[in-house]
Amino acid sequence: MITISGKTVCTGVAFGPVFVFSREESTIKRHHIESSDDEIARFEIARKKAIEELGMLYDKAISEVGESNAMIFQIHQMMLEDLDYIESIKNIITDQLINAETAVGQTCDNFVQMFKAMDDDYMRERSADVKDVSERLIKILSGKDNGGIVTSEPVIIVADDLAPSETVQFDKSKILAFVTEGGSTNSHTSILARMMNIPAVIGAKGSLKSEFNGKRAIVDGFTGTMYIDPDEETVKKLTKKKQEIEEQTKFLEKLKGCESVTKDGQRIDLFANIGNVLDVGSVLKNDAEGIGLFRSEFLYLESKDYPSEDVQFGAYKEVLSKMVNKRVIIRTLDIGADKQVGYFNMPKEENPAMGIRAIRICLKRPDIFKTQLRALYRASVFGRLAIMFPMIASEWEILKVLEIIDEVKAELDSEGIAYSNHIELGCMIETPAAAVTSDILSKHLDFFSIGTNDLTQYTLAADRQNPDIGDFCDAHHTAVLRLINTVTQNAHKNNTWVGICGELGADLELTEVFLAMGIDELSVTPNAILPIRKKVIETDVSAIKDKVLSKYLIQS
């Protein structure tokens, strides 16, 4: 048995033969052309065909992964309409008198280099989309069909990496799992795998060997492991795991539409975290009761320049409309620390996690903040909007934020632009300072959302980005749990409601603890909603309250 480890992108267990996916690389033959006009015309025909193909892929993806996820193909269509991209290809054809395939290849290389040189991960990952689009053009120009999988039985696909168009073109009934040597958790392919709910492992070094083709294998999406030629014991263990999952999934499906209420009648809202408009499909599919954290900074991370008020308005409006009056909490810009955006031109800091980030940027540069607030207030008439502010440490920051909001509202009033009068305002509790003074902060706000990822790192002085710090960054630490409890009690005294939107919210080991504390909302990755609902429905808070609180808050 060969064991290969990677990083999990989508859980689940799959058994089946390996299919090593080696795409036919389009080898581009460079040659001289006589007429640049004829060659440009040939390029234009190919470009139109590619746009048409992407339209068909979009339709296919809608039925398989939902409208919001299918949007990646519209983005690819937009890339093919991008004037810089088109101009570059045409200029190369005209200036160098070379064939369109070569011109596309050169332009692709230049654009890929440009994306790869960018500071933020998201933009770097977009280089895969440029490659994908260019590869499609080259295949059309050179008369080669798009490849796919030729197999009669369902397979575990092993690849170096997969482009979104390759992922969605596969016949879903033929795919048991994805395993890639490369890839990243934020790539659209990973997102599509999660949406398709197919076990997926990335970064599985050593998996892409032609000798594995056709071998029996098991993919354990929970641990991010692939076993080739598994031994009997492994087969037995994972067969049991697969059966348990199937039973659980069937059971969880039944919980869609059920209320998240404990045996003794305590309600908790189960909301979802999203990074962009595309994620709303999965929110609805998993029956989330609202959106508890829309990380709006992804709009900034995805742009080459500051997203305009209208661009932001469009995104917020779409999310609010799709959620049809369910609460949507949009967090204002949380740039800085690990989320750097080049065009913000932030000075290099010795210690960025404690530097100019999130609300600190917004207060230092109110022009940026006001643009976002205007977009949010304008969008507020399309649904049930709540806004929250990240990285708050002091009361004066909240007071300043409220002052800026008043200015924005006055501007909108003077322009005759409508906005809702029922927008809830809250802040994230991510600093020990905010947690300890939550009694003061709560007087000004409708709600708190506890960001346990940052609250843990700042409470324990343990960098959340440092993979070596491991046990030192323990979100179960009594100090963190005590702070969560303090925040909840302080907030409730002032009728402020409290949610948790950090990763800890999805930790089933703590669901009882959160219920016992009286947390009002948990906002988690969409796939975690139904397992938590199950746990909530099975819990009798009055019976466990004293025991769990003393276990987690008194003893460490």
CB 57 within 8 A of CB 80: no
- The verdict on 295 binding ligand PEP (CB under 6 A) reads yes
- The verdict on 340 binding ligand PEP (CB under 6 A) reads no
- The verdict on 334 binding ligand PEP (CB under 6 A) reads yes
CB 392 within 8 A of CB 426: no
CB atoms closer than 10 angstroms to residue 253: 10
Distance between CA atoms of residues 9 and 194, nearest Å = 7
Specify whether 501 is catalytic: yes
CB 213 within 8 A of CB 224: no
Nearest to ligand PEP of 196, 398 (CB atom): 398
Distance between CA atoms of residues 477 and 473, nearest Å = 8
| Residue 183, Cβ density class (10 Å: 0-12 exposed, 13-18 middle, ≥19 buried) | buried
- The verdict on 276 binding ligand PEP (CB under 6 A) reads no
CB of 261 to ligand PEP, least distance (A): 25
Distance between CA atoms of residues 228 and 17, nearest Å = 9
Give alpha helix (H) positions in 451-504. 452-460, 478-493
Nearest to Mg ion of 72, 429 (CB atom): 429
Nearest to ligand PEP of 398, 501 (CB atom): 501
* Coil vs helix vs strand at 540: coil
- The verdict on 357 binding ligand PEP (CB under 6 A) reads no
Determine which residue in the list 99, 134, 286, 452 makes contact with ligand PEP, applying CB under 6 A. 452
Nearest to ligand PEP of 1, 354 (CB atom): 354
How would you classify the pairing of strands 225-228 and 2-5?
antiparallel
Q: Which does 105 bind (CB under 5 to 8 A by kind): Mg ion, ligand PEP, none?
A: none
- The verdict on 517 binding ligand PEP (CB under 6 A) reads no
Q: Which does 127 bind (CB under 5 to 8 A by kind): Mg ion, ligand PEP, none?
A: none
* Radius of gyration for the alpha carbons in the chain, expressed in angstroms and rounded: 25
Count, in order, helices (H) and strands (E) of the chain: 22, 16
Q: Which residues contact Mg ion by CB under 5 A?
A: 430, 451, 454
- The residue range among 242-250, 364-372, 399-407, 451-459 that interacts with ligand PEP, by the rule CB under 6 A, is 451-459
- The verdict on 336 binding ligand PEP (CB under 6 A) reads no
Determine which residue in the list 451, 499, 526, 531 makes contact with ligand PEP, applying CB under 6 A. 451
Locate tokens 């073109």: which residue?
A: 169
Nearest to Mg ion of 335, 373 (CB atom): 335
- In 3D space, the residue among 31, 529, 75, 35 whose CA is nearest the CA of residue 287 turns out to be 529
CB 514 within 8 A of CB 269: no
- The residue range among 145-153, 221-229, 258-266, 452-460 that interacts with ligand PEP, by the rule CB under 6 A, is 452-460
Q: Fill in the per-residue mask, 418 to 437: x = in contact with ligand PEP (CB under 6 A), - = not in contact.
A: ------------x-------
- The residue range among 66-74, 171-179, 417-425, 449-457 that interacts with ligand PEP, by the rule CB under 6 A, is 449-457
Q: Which does 501 bind (CB under 5 to 8 A by kind): ligand PEP, Mg ion, none?
A: ligand PEP
- Side-chain-facing half-sphere of 223: CA atoms under 13 Å: 11
Catalytic position from the list 10, 76, 108, 188: 188
CB of 501 to ligand PEP, least distance (A): 5
Distance between CA atoms of residues 389 and 534, nearest Å = 31
Nearest to Mg ion of 279, 430 (CB atom): 430
Residue 362's H or E segment, with its range, is helix 359-364
Distant-in-sequence, close-in-space partners of 533: CB < 8 Å, separation ≥ 6: 252, 255, 258, 260, 270
- The verdict on 501 binding ligand PEP (CB under 6 A) reads yes
- The verdict on 453 binding ligand PEP (CB under 6 A) reads yes
Nearest to Mg ion of 106, 523 (CB atom): 523
Catalytic position from the list 362, 427, 473, 501: 501
Q: Which does 165 bind (CB under 5 to 8 A by kind): ligand PEP, Mg ion, none?
A: none
CB of 489 to Mg ion, least distance (A): 22
Nearest to ligand PEP of 188, 295 (CB atom): 295
Determine which residue in the list 53, 120, 132, 454 makes contact with ligand PEP, applying CB under 6 A. 454
CA distances 556 to 432, 433, 476, 489, 549, Å, are 18, 22, 9, 20, 11
CB of 305 to Mg ion, least distance (A): 24
Report how many residues bind ligand PEP under the rule CB under 6 A: 10
In order, the DSSP letters of 348-375 are: P-SSGGGSS-THHHHHH-HHHHHHHHHH
Q: Return the amino acid letter for 190.
A: S
CB 524 within 8 A of CB 273: yes
CB 389 within 8 A of CB 329: no
Residues lying near ligand PEP in the complex (CB under 6 A):
293, 295, 334, 430, 451-454, 501-502
Report the catalytic residues.
Answer: 188, 501
